[in-house]
Amino acid sequence: MSISPVAGPRTSLRSFWHDLPREGRLLLSIVVVEFLGTGLVLPFHVVYLNEVRGFALSDVGLLLALPPLAGFLLTGPGGVLIDRFGARVMLVGTQVLLIAGNLTLVVADTIPIAAVGLALSGVAFGIAWPAVQSLIAAIVPTEHRQRYFGINFALLNLGIGIGGITGGFLVDIDRTITFQAIYAIDAASYVPALILLLGPLRHVAGRPVHDPEVVVEQVSYLAVLRRPAVAPVMVLGFVAAFVGYAQLNTGMPAYARAIGDVSTRGLGFAFAANTAVIVVLQLFVLGRIEGLRRTRVIAAMGLVWAAAWLFLGASGLVSGTVGATLLVAGCASVFGIGETLLQPTIPALVNDLAPDHLRGRYNALSSASFSLPGIIAPVTAGFLIGHGLAGVYIGMLVVGSLAVGAIAIWWVEPHLPPEVNGIRLAEPEAHPVDGPVAI
């Protein structure tokens, strides 16, 4: 019997919200508040540590490498703990660590204290990402996950955008207390999530629920990587992160400043444009990609990102002009369109692929594949741009973005069941049969 893929009707936002479990609605309701605090402090780490606290830039660079390094090292153990104790329990711990890390930074007048605060936050984020993905998968039915992840991403960016704008008005380089205030507010922004996890969501994913008739094996990460489609999906995530987020956060500003001679204000404008594009377009994009193959959507994202990096490369041809600033803003804006394609698809794909008892490990591997490029990319970008190889740098990003599409279509897609790849399946219509039926 053949089963054919169907596009199915698009789900409206109102019907999606109505069909979403109460717990899912509660989780979405606090996203903006939680990431508003992140947006408050995100643009000002270097300013606070270097200009306010007086740490040397070389020391600040080492300090800011602590969070991604700590997060990467803790991702693996975090996935095992999620599978053993449940996503909710681990998230409670991460919220406590995030609050403690920010409060430590409030009083970080020495390098060791700042290192402790940043390390606490890094450990928390390393565990929080796979934990929150696992919790969402435990709450949200498969048919709603892609849209849920997309809306969650839009709200996340809305919170960061509001926080970044607000932080710019609040901080004063000559008043340490203004910087202490934004770190204290960031700490407070995690309290609603903590209350939610300890209160209304205390019954959700406290421990993984397994079928008592099924023996749950203890599976290593190497064994997980040998499972069907897992290794290709993780390679896809790594390449996408290396030519994507890791470069947007480090390489793009470095290129814009060193080659495009774009002002810091121009960079701020570019990141604001990126956030605005995501917030405005994410819901529209979600409606258009529903029912499509996720691998094809990711391939389209690769083409979009290749175009974004060409915008960045062009900024170097008109260095120091308004045109360079506009081209960098165009790069960030086009990149944001690609983000609206990636963020709903990869998390949904990973969690539809994962069995319940290994969901923590699957999400931990996915998190590691995205965080490792954050450690490698600054070194790569700094070397190429610093040694007069800016053209090679842009070429690497364009080719890498196109490679994302090739990996998605020719390596990942053949290993995915249709339903994991986002295709809705429909049974063929039954036709009446005259006469006796042979059995």
Count CB-CB contacts under 10 A for residue 29.
Answer: 12
* CATH label of the domain that carries residue 376: 1.20.1250.20
**Pair (98, 57) in one structural domain:** yes
Q: Which pLDDT value is given to residue 2?
A: 39
pLDDT (mean) for 351-367:
92
Residues 341, 232, single domain; the answer is yes
Orientation angle between helical segments 111-139 and 87-106, nearest 10 degrees:
150
| Domain closes at, from 204, 234, 253 | 204
209 pLDDT tier (thresholds 50, 70, 90): low
Kind and range of the H or E run holding 310: helix 294-315
Mean per-residue pLDDT for 141-153? 90
Consecutive H or E run containing 18: helix 13-19
Q: Which two tokens stand for residue 87?
A: 């996503």
First to last CA, the chain: 15
Residue 213 is assigned to a structural domain of this protein: no
pLDDT at 426: 54
What confidence tens digit (pLDDT) does each residue in 223-277 have? 999 998 999 999 999 999 999 988 888 788 889 888 999 887 788 788 889 999 9
Q: What pLDDT is stored for residue 339 in this prediction? A: 95
Which residue's entry shows tokens 């407070």? 188
* pLDDT tens figures, 51-87: 889 988 778 878 888 888 888 899 999 999 999 899 9
Average pLDDT score over residue span 389-409:
96
- Looking at the domain assignment, is residue 273 inside a domain? yes
Locate tokens 């979403």: which residue? 20
For residues 147 and 28, what is the distance between their CA atoms, to the nearest angstrom? 12
User: Using an 8 Å Cβ cutoff, are 181 and 170 in contact?
Assistant: yes
Mean pLDDT computed over 202-224: 67
Phi, psi of 213 (to 5 degrees): -85, -10
Q: How confident is the model at residue 1 (pLDDT cuts 50, 70, 90)?
A: very low
Cβ atoms within 10 Å, residue 191? 15
> Which pLDDT score, from 0 to 100, does residue 432 have?
45
Q: Please say which residue of 204, 236, 251 terminates a domain.
A: 204
pLDDT one-digit tens code per residue, 152-203: 999 998 998 888 888 878 888 889 999 999 999 999 999 999 999 999 988 8
436 within some domain: no
Work out the mean pLDDT of the chain and round it to a whole number. 87
In this structure, are 172 and 240 located in the same domain? no
**Residue (of 371, 345, 373, 344) closest to 79 by Cα position:** 371
Q: Which two tokens stand for residue 67?
A: 């969070």
Residue 211 reports pLDDT greater than 70: no
Could you give the CA distance from residue 212 to residue 277 in angstroms, rounded to a whole number? 47
Which residue range(s) make up the domain with 269? 225-425
C-alpha 224/C-alpha 228 separation (Å) is 9
Residue 244 to residues 134, 252, 283, 286, 395, Cα–Cα distance (Å): 23, 10, 21, 20, 14
- pLDDT at residue 210 tops 70: no
Highest mean pLDDT among 6-20, 124-138, 353-367, 396-410: 396-410
Percent of the residues in the chain that have a pLDDT greater than 90, as a whole number:
57
Query: Structural domain tally of the chain?
Result: 2
User: Shortest CA distance to 403 belongs to which of 312, 299, 313?
Assistant: 299
pLDDT in tens, 297-330: 999 999 999 999 999 999 999 999 999 999 999 9
Enumerate the β-bridge partners of residue 5: 425
Whether 347 has a pLDDT exceeding 50, the answer reads yes
- Which is higher by pLDDT, 51 or 389? 389
pLDDT for 217: 56
Does residue 366 contact residue 85 with C-beta atoms inside 8 Å? no
**Ramachandran area for residue 437 (φ above 0: left; ψ -120 to 50: alpha; else beta):** beta
Q: Do residues 115 and 263 share a domain?
A: no
pTM, full prediction:
0.84
> Do 341 and 422 form a contact (C-beta atoms < 8 A)?
no
Residues 46 and 148 in one domain: yes
